[in-house]
Structure 1
Amino acid sequence: MTFQQHTTVLAGDAPGQSTTLYWYTAGPEDAPTKVHLQAAMHADEQPGTMALHHLLPMLRDADAAGRLKARFVVFPSVNPLGLATRVLRRHIGRYDLETGVNFNRRWPDLYPQIAEAIAGKLTDDQRTNLGTIRTAVGTWLDQQRPATAAQRLRLAILKSAHNADIVLDLHCDDESLKHIFTSPDLMPGLQDLADRMQVAATLTAEDSGGGSFDEVLPNLYRKAQRANPGFPIPMGAETATLEYRGQADTHDAMGREDAQGLHDFFAGRGLIDATVPDATPAPGPTPFEATEVLRADRPGLLAYRVGLGDRVKKGDVVADIIAMDGPDAFLGRNPLRAGTDGIILSRASAKYAVVGSSVAKIVGTEILPARAGGYLLED
């Protein structure tokens, strides 16, 4: 039996401080496939942790029965630093309070760090080239000397994920249906994951503009391919951000359902020896640039006219913004209209909006000119 708990102690930024990161491994160390799973990088997003709480016993039991065909590395709550950031009875697990940086932004661009190291070493065999790239990345990571606790945490995560074949980062939205963010290069290959999750949408982008964790490895291999067109280089990792509904949806039954979906995805890939039922097809991918992030154009109280999953057309009223100042204070309502046709994927749980607040994501099919080539994320 290979199922094992591990701990990594991260030195803190003040004398006498440290933080413990808990993680698990299961499956043969020499398995041909490595899976890296993590949840709660945004530490105030807990549905993924609940899902991994239910998945871990499944992996433990499959491991004991000799049914694991991959090496699984699981971080059920990957950001213990963010778990500690509570201010005035509110959990602020999305940002590093020291720097203000979102924990899921500004991850490194790896290819420039290893381009020189792989020069002259690529061959006509793609598996060899994949190994060369992974070795170079591992060497670069070993050379890093992080100065802060946040940097030490990022380095520990990258050391685990950099040589994985499947990397799944479990998040959630504010108030939302299930969806996936991934790279267009990886679809339709990850459609089986979308089917097992039963997502409402799979949103794809090569570069969403924020340096998100799920884009680090696809960006590495994509840049390597483009810089070395004469050599076969695979997309060496299937990576995705899995959005498990909204923050309030951290429920035991939902976590069990989500864990079963992950288990069945791995079993369908032959990574767990188990018979699973066929999955119901989910919607195919759409470009993230076709999703409108509808924002408040004035401050006020949100009164939604639509629910999650509702289909709207351009010009339909998504919400009224109730005025809270001026001559119409608490009497006037100003409609906020959809800028595209599509489905309502997410809404705001906090109904007091300021100018620029995200009110809804509307998943359409047509690229929006204002979104093309821009910053696609909400923060």
Structure 2
Amino acid sequence: MASLISMTFEQTTFVLAGDTPGSATTLYSYTVGPQDAPVKVHLQAALHADEQPGTMALHHLLVMLRDADAMGQLRARFAVFPSVNPLGLANWSLRTHLGRYDNTTGVNYNRRWPDLYAAVSGAVGGRLGADPRANVATLRHAVRDWIDGQRPRSAAEELRLAVLRSAHDADIMLDLHCDNDSLKHIFTSPELMPGFRDLADWMGAAATLTAEDSGGGSFDEVLPQLYRQAARANPDKPIPMAAETATLEYRGQADVFDEMGLADAKGLFGFFAGRGLIDADPGPRPASAPAATPFEATEVLRVDRPGLLAYRVELGETVKTGQPVADLIAMDGPQAFIARTPVLAGTDGFVLSRALGKYVPRGGAIAKIVGTQPLVSRSGGYLLED
């Protein structure tokens, strides 16, 4: 461990043992704010290591938090991981960064996070009572004990445990990502809306998509699932949803620009100041973001053959069911490089994201269309792209 301290602003380094000789790497984080603050905030970016807009935003936010700390304005304890996946930063092949998947296992870095209630239910049995705050503390203590008792078998497991150790007792946990080519949007749990409406406003989100379980074991669902499952397993005990968590999608992968990151950091700072977690003027209240919609109402539009995309619509454009979103130019067959097949919208809504790469394989996702009515094809299944 190593640290640099100014007021309560501290940098921490954690060395992840490599799986092969010479492959150890370092995870950097910062903590800032009073140790005894009643609220803990965990912020992280680039869990998908090839998604860098969030890192740019946290670069700017760290300076704002450091300066606010020096002026004694922080009313929460912040843990900040500007690039939370150093393992993925090393995943390069033929001059291309492939930071979404563990090269060894093929597992998406933001999938298959542990079911914490299943891990601790035996330890908390009989210890929950009539005090909701005590019940939350009991659950958090059990999770910390479980983390401390794990023996990681790989660098990827070691990284996950290090991140969970910071996040498990957070009151607010924000995981900063981006899409391929996209407008800003949020993924969160339905119980957290409309309470998180202020976050959507400050972010300037074009959409807030909600799901209890998107099917992939994403990091933002770990803590809500802990409290939700504990409450359902113990209906006679008061167990609140004690963590506000969300995945924040900051546009697309190419949108890593200083001015954008600064604006995003100002939005986060305004959100925290508006919550009273920073004793500073949050600035003018932003415009209201659209109301949340169930993630099941968002179509992930896919193609049924390979080809070259020629989009007919822009991001944010409203479309109707059956309207062509793009043409797919054939790249084989008797009409190769001549034939064009329209790709049609399957719902009414607006175009939230598109594919940055225009050559797509069969089954490739080319757009998300945000509607308002849940789709039969999206019920009870895997809601994510991969």
The answer for the alignment partner of 2:97 in structure 1 is 91
- Equivalent residue letter for 2:188: T
Residue 300 of structure 1 is aligned with which of 307, 318, 335? Answer: 307
The answer for the alignment partner of 1:321 in structure 2 is 328
Residue 9 of structure 1 is aligned with which of 8, 15, 31? Answer: 15
RMSD across aligned positions (CA): 0.6
- Equivalent residue letter for 1:355: R
Residue 263 of structure 1 is aligned with which of 256, 260, 269? Answer: 269
Deviation sequence 1:152-182 (CA, Å, 0-9, x none)? 0000000000000000000000000000000
Work out the CA distance in 1 between the residues paired with 2:184 and 2:285.
19
Q: CA deviation at 1:339?
A: 0.3
The answer for the alignment partner of 2:27 in structure 1 is 21
Query: What TM-score results when the alignment is normalised by the length of structure 2?
Result: 0.98
Work out the CA distance in 2 between the residues paired with 1:279 and 1:126.
34
Deviation sequence 1:171-215 (CA, Å, 0-9, x none)? 000000000000001111111000000110000000000000000
Work out the CA distance in 1 between the residues paired with 2:220 and 2:106.
20
Q: Does 1:291 align with 2:298?
A: yes
Q: Does 1:333 align with 2:322?
A: no
- Equivalent residue letter for 1:169: D
Q: CA deviation at 1:38?
A: 0.2
Q: CA deviation at 1:326?
A: 1.2
Q: CA deviation at 1:17?
A: 2.6
Partner SS, residue 370 of structure 1 = helix
Identity rate of aligned residues, in percent? Answer: 71
Q: CA deviation at 1:95?
A: 0.3
| Structure 1 ranges of 4+ moved more than 4 A | none
- Kindly tell me the number of residue pairs found equivalent between the two proteins: 379
The answer for the alignment partner of 1:243 in structure 2 is 249
Partner SS, residue 117 of structure 1 = helix
Residue 118 of structure 1 is aligned with which of 108, 120, 124? Answer: 124
Q: CA deviation at 1:121?
A: 1.0
Work out the CA distance in 2 between the residues paired with 1:172 and 1:222.
27
Q: CA deviation at 1:298?
A: 1.0
Q: 1:180-199 alignment to 2 at 5 Å?
A: 180-199=186-205
Work out the CA distance in 2 between the residues paired with 1:307 and 1:275.
36
The answer for the alignment partner of 1:350 in structure 2 is 357
Partner SS, residue 368 of structure 2 = strand
Q: CA deviation at 1:15?
A: 2.1
- Equivalent residue letter for 2:292: P
The answer for the alignment partner of 1:175 in structure 2 is 181
Partner SS, residue 104 of structure 1 = coil
- Equivalent residue letter for 2:341: N
Residue 203 of structure 1 is aligned with which of 199, 202, 209? Answer: 209
Partner SS, residue 362 of structure 2 = coil
Deviation sequence 1:339-378 (CA, Å, 0-9, x none)? 0000000000100011101110000001100100010000
The answer for the alignment partner of 1:141 in structure 2 is 147
Work out the CA distance in 2 between the residues paired with 1:361 and 1:236.
31
